[in-house]
Amino acid sequence: MAQIRLRSRDWFGKNDRWGLAHRAWLRAEGFSSRDFQDKPVIGIANSWSELNNCNAHLRQLAEAVKRGVWAAGGFPLEFPTISLGEMLMKPTTMLYRNLMAMDVEECIRAYPLDGVVLLCGCDKTTPAQLMGAASADVPAIMVPGGPMLGGMWRGREIGSGTDLRRYWDEVRAGRLGEEEFCEIEGCVSRSAGHCTVMGTASTMAAMAEALGMTLPGAADVPAVDARRKALAEESGARVVEMAREDLRPSRVMAREAFENAIRVLMSIGGSTNAIVHLVAIAARLGIALPLARFDEISRATPLIADIKPSGKFLMEDLFNAGGLAAVIKELLPLLHASAGTVTGKPLGENVVRAACYNREVIRPLGQPLGPEGGTAVLKGNLAPAGAVVKQSAASPQLLKHRGRAVVFENNQDLLARFDDPNLPVDESSVLVLKNAGPKGAPGMPEWGHLPIPTKLLKAGVKDVVRLSDARISGTSFGTLIVHVAPEAAVGGPLAIVRDGDEIELDVAARRLELLVSDGEIKKRLASWRPPKPHYTRGYGRMFLDHILQADEGCDFDFLRGREPREESEPLRRFPNPSV
């Protein structure tokens, strides 16, 4: 193989004033001249933060990565990026996913890195890093942080988010005391690591592995398991080789890799958020992933992993059953087994030794939990550019439904009225939330899991059809139609739905219709006026000016595509005049 010229040599390999300066300033950290001798420089992009419990252990993982890099003859340098903590960040981490992607991309490009290890965990940190790495296109490997220990309360397993929602509904219905609910607070999140169900973080870690961007097994080893550190060390060693092989994200994440990821997404009942993220990552590489393709693959992919919220088990059970590698092995007849990965081997070869140890958790392809994938894509006059529903976590009897709309103009309206005993709602109603999309909310928060009105809960109703231009958490369950595009705030038909309008849902036929005449829809749209923008300055303003719709991945319009590196470009652009 031809010897690759390392990018870092432009900084450290020259015997001129700039070469001396670059080495000298870094030697301030105590490195010796030996470290500059033609070793690949490996950046460790660390999204550790005490404001993000899911990523709170990533410093220890970074140390393990460094061991691997040093052992393989590389030179590791850890750097921080912003971190997006799903629980604490308001109004939503999705408002900042693209900002983090820009941070990652620009750091990789601006610094003397020959390879990069991406340390992620919580929901948006994974797609943001993949988007940034795809655009920078320097050899990269991902090490997700892994799921936290499974929650346990009074001998019962509690899945993050999923069961918390269930118990909260029990409190509201008067069937569970507040004291018991407070007890759950101390039992649900038992360690660092991401949520324990097939929420967005678990799904995105699975997507990274299915895309070929991690070592096999990276998606599900528990966060605090010793094997997670061993995997980080192995990843550090591997990226040194990748730097020498010039194995870049654009060579790994090809169209076949995305189709594999979609197939895996559907087979595990993964988060609907993954659709938005995969579309955005692919677009960075010039690959179009229309929603129709997700639906085609979903229709031809059986659901085989029985994980909450679609099923009954937790991520740790998936790990003990053989992990995502065993799922991939089961799916191989449906996958592009020859797709490349960061190991340098095809995906099919990576899972040769994988095995399933629990057929309740990972079903055989011939005996699936359901004949189709977890998510269906809907179209109709209410969602001309599409909407999605996680059918595997919905109520089967509601997948074909006709009901009258109960409309909430925005989230404040919803919060003010869902508890009202006089709300004109019954179990056949369709709850509609507007102005919760990318521009309308803004940031498309996970408000699509509209609470069931208290009067229905007290009557024993557990689910109704709910419809919005928002997203839902990957931990959500129920008949939730989300990602309606175009969103209400840009004048999508959702904007003109009124109380009492009839709405028809037919998931099998992939239809979502407002049963109002075309003429009436036209008339209402003609008198519609856009809401006032939420921001007039700063990052928020930039977000509103450039954000794309859900079916386009919610990236900024100017971030699609990539900028392949040029060896001497960094020094041309940044002549470092202060030295």
- For ligand FES, the binding residues (CB under 6 A) are 54, 86-87, 122-123, 160, 194-195, 199, 201
Could you give the angle at which helices 273-284 and 291-299 cross, rounded to 10 degrees? 120
Q: How far is the CB of 123 from ligand FES (least distance, A)?
A: 5
Measured from the CB atom, the residue of 194 and 248 that comes closer to ligand FES is 194
Structure tokens, 379: 């179209």
Q: How far is the CB of 567 from ligand FES (least distance, A)?
A: 38
CA distances from 220 to 149, 225, 300, 352 (A): 11, 10, 25, 18
CA distances from 76 to 15, 59, 71, 215, 239 (A): 22, 14, 10, 19, 10
Measured from the CB atom, the residue of 54 and 431 that comes closer to ligand FES is 54
Q: How far is the CB of 54 from ligand FES (least distance, A)?
A: 3
CA distances from 173 to 165, 179, 286, 428, 461 (A): 12, 15, 49, 19, 10
CA distances from 44 to 69, 223, 245, 282 (A): 10, 18, 18, 23
Q: Which residues of 438-462 are buried (b: 16+ CB within 10 A; e: fewer)?
A: bbbbbbbbbbbbbbbbbbbbeeebe
Measured from the CB atom, the residue of 149 and 431 that comes closer to ligand FES is 149
Q: How far is the CB of 51 from ligand FES (least distance, A)?
A: 11
Could you give the angle at the alpha carbon of 523 between the alpha carbons of 382 and 384, nearest 5°? 20
Measured from the CB atom, the residue of 40 and 85 that comes closer to ligand FES is 85
Cβ neighbourhood burial of 422 (10 Å; 0-12, 13-18, 19+)? exposed
Measured from the CB atom, the residue of 270 and 493 that comes closer to ligand FES is 270
Q: How far is the CB of 509 from ligand FES (least distance, A)?
A: 34
Q: How far is the CB of 52 from ligand FES (least distance, A)?
A: 7
Long-range contacts of 495-500 (CB under 8 A, 24+ apart): 495/434, 495/525, 495/528, 496/521, 496/524, 496/525, 496/528, 497/382, 497/405, 497/407, 497/432, 497/434, 498/405, 498/407, 498/524, 499/404, 499/405, 499/406, 499/407, 499/424, 500/404, 500/405
Nearest C-alpha neighbor of 576 from the set 112, 37, 22, 8: 22
Is residue 314 a contact partner of residue 190, using CB atoms and an 8 Å limit? no
Are β-strands 465-468 and 430-433 bridged in parallel, bridged antiparallel, or unpaired? parallel
Report the alpha-carbon distance of residue 167 to residue 180 in Å, rounded. 10
Q: How far is the CB of 472 from ligand FES (least distance, A)?
A: 13
**Residues whose CB is less than 8 angstroms from the CB of residue 292 and which lie 6 or more positions away in sequence, other chains included:** 377
Altogether, the residues listed in the chain come to a count of 579
**Euclidean distance between the first and final Cα of the chain, in Å?**
38
Whether omega before 346 lies within 30 degrees of 0, making that bond cis, reads no
Measured from the CB atom, the residue of 122 and 488 that comes closer to ligand FES is 122
Structure tokens, 43: 């950046």
Measured from the CB atom, the residue of 194 and 562 that comes closer to ligand FES is 194
Is residue 195 a contact partner of residue 147, using CB atoms and an 8 Å limit? yes
Measured from the CB atom, the residue of 201 and 275 that comes closer to ligand FES is 201
Q: How far is the CB of 89 from ligand FES (least distance, A)?
A: 10
Q: How far is the CB of 85 from ligand FES (least distance, A)?
A: 7
Measured from the CB atom, the residue of 92 and 298 that comes closer to ligand FES is 92
Q: How far is the CB of 49 from ligand FES (least distance, A)?
A: 11
Nearest C-alpha neighbor of 480 from the set 417, 445, 432: 432
- The three-class DSSP label of residue 358 is coil
Q: How far is the CB of 471 from ligand FES (least distance, A)?
A: 14
Measured from the CB atom, the residue of 188 and 297 that comes closer to ligand FES is 188
Measured from the CB atom, the residue of 119 and 354 that comes closer to ligand FES is 119
Measured from the CB atom, the residue of 12 and 96 that comes closer to ligand FES is 96
